[in-house]
Amino acid sequence: MCICLSSPHTSYVYTSSGCLCGFRCFLIHKLRFFEAAGLNRRFLSWVFLLKILAGTALVAIYTYYYTDRSTADVFKYFDDSKVMFDALQEKPSDYFQMLFGINNDSPYFDQYYDTMNNWYRVYESNLYNDSHTIIRFNAVVMLFSGGHIGVHTVFMCFIALMGLTALYKVFSTYILHNRQALAIGIFLLPSVLFWGSGVLKEGLLFFAIGTAVFCLEQLLSHKGSWWHWPGLFFALALMFICKMYVLISLFPGIVAYSWVRLSAPKRVYLKYLVVILVCTVAAVNIKVVLPKDDFLETLSEKQRDFMGLAESMKSGSIIHINKLEPTFKSFAMNAPEAFLNTLCRPFIWEAKTAFEWAAAIENLVLMAFIMYCLIKIDRKKLTQPLVPFCITFVLVLYVLSGIATPVVGALVRYKVPAMPFLVIALLLVVKDNSFPQKQWINKLLN
């Protein structure tokens, strides 16, 4: 099912990847985790295989269309991980020190890092270098893959599927009459399916987000076991080292939702507003406590770094965004435009590449979906605590992405982790049975 376009041993790749696909499908049919109301395991197996096809297509695109491996996200971290993995044969201690980050920042390790293209980045702010995470992930999977990227794709697809399944299990208990739309919104959104199926950070993010939300819900519902606590903290830590802005975006919703669930279910939106204001004040003034951690200065540097990188690579999808000054006033003034850019762009008339055309069409469909749901809204459902939870995550992530990213092509990917939550928020507030139940979809899901 998976092919490796970077290795001449295609027969081995077909065999190993096919066996791994079959084993993963076996796990989907046997593991209790994949039991979900409104879904059957056959559907999840088909989604898994569809994700593998999407991941394989991504490899093909970056092999035959974007041919520079040093700049192709699918390959550049994969190639860097080979440098780390090769140390296992000659000096195993070096491999494990780099893998776990144990005393690995001495000049001695520059013999490895200088060979890599992405361990050190030309444009680097003081944020954690999240490239290290995906390089280390690939270096671990190479223990099983023999260096074939098709096997890495299978691993990532399965991990991402686990996270998406966890999300479905949480929200399907609250969305009883529109579960068909929920399954489509979580598993089959084109951007989520495509970018969440490659050997990219998005797959790890979906696993981390789904795990965090699932563990949190279990704990707050008093259904959780002791392992849900370490599961929650592991997921938050994975977000931190994978994409810190995703953790920053999710954190206010986690705090506010926990407050609402552990207290009287009144003034839901006021509690969310209080948490958002407290988090905003804390972020703006964190430099008072930690002088080296100025949130607004860091965000401003991130925008500057991204602009420098886009100009150096002569990106064809640069858009004009106002320069962000390290002040709250500048942040507040730029936030609305940043949100709209992330939500709506690329527009049809500015799409140039196939990726941008696909994203533009998806945006049009999503806008129509939003309008339809607003017409079908049930005002009584607006007080559900998970509604502002989803809205808060989407709002913060879209603002942070749009305010720091001047490239449409990058925005298409950066907003992907929050896209299912936008759909979920709408499904939580629409009237029951707002979407016609198709018999063939029922047969597929059930």
Average pLDDT over residues 407-420: 91
Phi and psi dihedrals of 39, rounded to 5? -130, 145
Tokens of 116: 């890599």
- pLDDT at residue 374 in the model: 92
Q: Got the DSSP string for 28-49? A: HHH-GGG-BTTB-HHHHHHHHH
Question: What digits encode the pLDDT tens for the residues 270-283?
Answer: 999 999 999 999 99
Beta-strand runs (E) in 276-338 = none
Measured distance CA(259)–CA(270) in Å, rounded: 11
Q: Given the structure tokens 């027969």, which residue do they identify? A: 11
The mean predicted confidence, pLDDT, of the chain is 86
- List the chain domain ranges: 1-242, 269-446
- pLDDT at residue 10 in the model: 47
Higher pLDDT, 182 or 2: 182
Lowest mean pLDDT: which of 63-77, 361-375, 418-432? Answer: 63-77
Q: Beta partners for 39?
A: 36
pLDDT band at 433 (very low <50, low <70, confident <90, very high): confident
Measured distance CA(268)–CA(55) in Å, rounded: 40
Q: Residue 197's closest CA among 167, 161, 168?
A: 161
Rounded to the nearest 5 percent, the helix, strand and coil shares of the chain are 70, 0, 25
Average pLDDT over residues 200-217: 96
- pLDDT at residue 444 in the model: 57
Residues written for the chain: 446
Q: At what angle do helices 179-187 and 419-429 cross, to 10 degrees?
A: 170
Higher pLDDT, 162 or 129: 162
- pLDDT at residue 26 in the model: 67
Average pLDDT over residues 373-381: 91
Distances (CA, A) of 203 to 27, 195, 267: 18, 8, 36
Q: Tell me if 232 sits within 8 A of 212, measured CB to CB.
A: yes
Question: What digits encode the pLDDT tens for the residues 82-111?
Answer: 999 999 988 999 999 999 988 888 889 989
Average pLDDT over residues 25-38: 78
Average pLDDT over residues 100-126: 80
Q: Residue 151's closest CA among 165, 137, 131?
A: 137
| Helices and strands: H and E segment counts in the chain | 21, 0
pLDDT band at 7 (very low <50, low <70, confident <90, very high): very low
Measured distance CA(192)–CA(436) in Å, rounded: 23
- pLDDT at residue 421 in the model: 97
**For residue 1, pLDDT beyond 70:** no
Average pLDDT over residues 377-397: 94
Question: What digits encode the pLDDT tens for the residues 308-337?
Answer: 777 777 676 788 888 889 889 999 999 999
Q: Residue 87's closest CA among 61, 57, 110?
A: 110
Task: Count Cα atoms within 13 angstroms, Cβ side, for 17.
Answer: 26
The pTM of the whole model exceeds 0.85: yes
Most confident of 70-79, 412-421, 434-443: 412-421
What's CA 384's distance to the chain center, in Å? Answer: 25
Q: Tell me if 211 sits within 8 A of 234, measured CB to CB.
A: yes
**For residue 9, pLDDT beyond 60:** no
Determine the 3-state secondary structure of 407 from DSSP: strand
Q: Given the structure tokens 């009144």, which residue do they identify? A: 266
Q: Residue 160's closest CA among 192, 184, 190, 131?
A: 192
Measured distance CA(423)–CA(361) in Å, rounded: 16
Q: Got the DSSP string for 374-389? A: HHTB-GGGGG-THHHH
pLDDT band at 440 (very low <50, low <70, confident <90, very high): low
Measured distance CA(87)–CA(116) in Å, rounded: 13
What is the rounded radius of gyration, in angstroms, for the C-alpha atoms of the chain?
22
pLDDT band at 6 (very low <50, low <70, confident <90, very high): very low
Average pLDDT over residues 345-361: 87
Lowest mean pLDDT: which of 63-67, 228-232, 438-442? Answer: 438-442
User: What percentage of the chain has pLDDT greater than the value 90?
Assistant: 54
